[in-house]
A = this chain, B = another copy of it.
Amino acid sequence: MSNTSSEIRYQVRDLIEYATALFAAAGCDGDKPAAIAAGLVEADLLGHTTHGLQLAPTYLGELESGGMIPRGEPEVVADRGATVTWDGRRLPGVWLTAKAVDLAVERAPTYGVATIVIRRSHHIGCLAAFLQRATDRGLMITIASSDPAVASVAPFGGRKAVFTPDPFAVGIPTDADPILIDISASITTNGMAGRLRREGKTFPGAWALDAAGAPTDDPNALFSDPPGSLLPLGGAEYGHKGFGLALMVEALTQGLSGFGRAEAPTQWGASVFVQVIDPTAFGGRDAFQHETGWLANACRDSPPVPGVDAVRVPGQRGLAHKKRALAEGVVLYPGIADALAPHATRLRVTPPRPIGA
């Protein structure tokens, strides 16, 4: 993203302060407003613009309607030390997930591997935004999430959706910058389909099926009646691979937490899996970072295919984006500031002034 004079930029701390004030005014208690604000803005810093502050108006709407619960703690369903299960009680998912990651980070050095699952969380935002809480401490982390109330991705060979995109993110520390992976079991996401539809654009390939089961690049296929579906990773050609990933994510999230599609929930939410691994318990932290650092460099050193400048390791672009945003300010994706404005008015919170305004 180039810094042209027509772009409206905000200081990062101003955006976090703004979002914190909005969620506090909306009734969230304790450290929830700050945690939600930090998680959403972190997504924007990393360039995940569909899962940053773009979600804030919807979250504020959920708080207003009672779909998201603003106060209290998760219920502990089970705690064996290395493994913890929470009932999230539809509390804010960004806050719950940050809290789960921090608990797993705290426990991983004791047990080697710490695993935390959450049933009935509300939406958790951008998975990549939580990774550095672990990688900054030399720990490897995996986060997976699914929403048992929503189905938009078809199983391979089928045309009726069963899964959500079922994202999972992996943070891998190295001897330099961490590797930050954020992918999903489907080729694309609901959020991207909605954005392309609003903007009158198509997918770059046949990433969806229409209701009859024919591959299509038209995001409108997802919104027909009956609706089409998103294709699993691998598409019509080798989508059994994405199908396998979706089953894995749904088993880790809904299966382990014991709350999922079998309960036919209707409210927007998430089942969540967090696992933090301490390499010290295995072959050692230095050995781990030596291997992963070597690997990241080998990837960067692979000569690029025609049309590509250089191989980028996952997270490399996001971390560069974040560094620049912290120094020069954040450009919000078009429409976000306008969507927040009515909530700011309703909640009597003053929006931040852009840099130079």
Contact = CB atoms under 8 A, between A and B. Distances in A.
B251 A303 contact: no
Given A256-B279, A257-B282, A302 B155 contact: yes
A291 B271 CA distance: 12
A20 interface: no
A290 B302 contact: no
A31 to B, nearest CB: 26
A303 B158 contact: yes
Nearest to A115: B113
B179 A247 contact: yes
A161 B182 CA distance: 22
A262 B244 contact: no
Number of chain A interface residues as a range: 35 or more
B290 A262 contact: yes
Contacts of A82: 82, 111-113
A305 B213 contact: yes
Interface stretch (A9-17, A64-72, A88-96, A231-239): A231-239
Contacts of A61: none
Contact of A304 (B159, B234, B308): B159
A355 interface: no
Nearest to A158: B302
A326 B101 CA distance: 46
The main secondary structure of chain A at its interface with chain B is mixed
Interface in A251-271: 251-252, 254-262
B158 A255 contact: no
Interface of A: 77-78, 80, 82-83, 85, 111-113, 115, 117, 119, 140, 142, 154-162, 170, 172, 179, 181-184, 187, 204-205, 209, 212-214, 233-234, 236-238, 240-241, 243-245, 247-248, 250-252, 254-262, 275, 277, 279, 281-284, 287-288, 290-292, 294-296, 298-299, 301-306, 308, 310-314
25 contacts: A78-B281, A80-B111, A83-B112, A83-B113, A113-B113, A115-B277, A115-B282, A140-B252, A140-B255, A155-B299, A157-B305, A157-B308, A158-B304, A160-B303, A170-B247, A181-B247, A187-B234, A187-B238, A213-B303, A213-B306, A233-B241, A247-B295, A255-B287, A258-B283, A261-B295
Given A157-B311, A259-B287, 17 more contacts: A80-B281, A117-B282, A140-B251, A140-B255, A154-B302, A157-B304, A158-B299, A158-B304, A162-B295, A172-B255, A181-B247, A183-B245, A233-B234, A233-B238, A244-B314, A254-B295, A257-B283
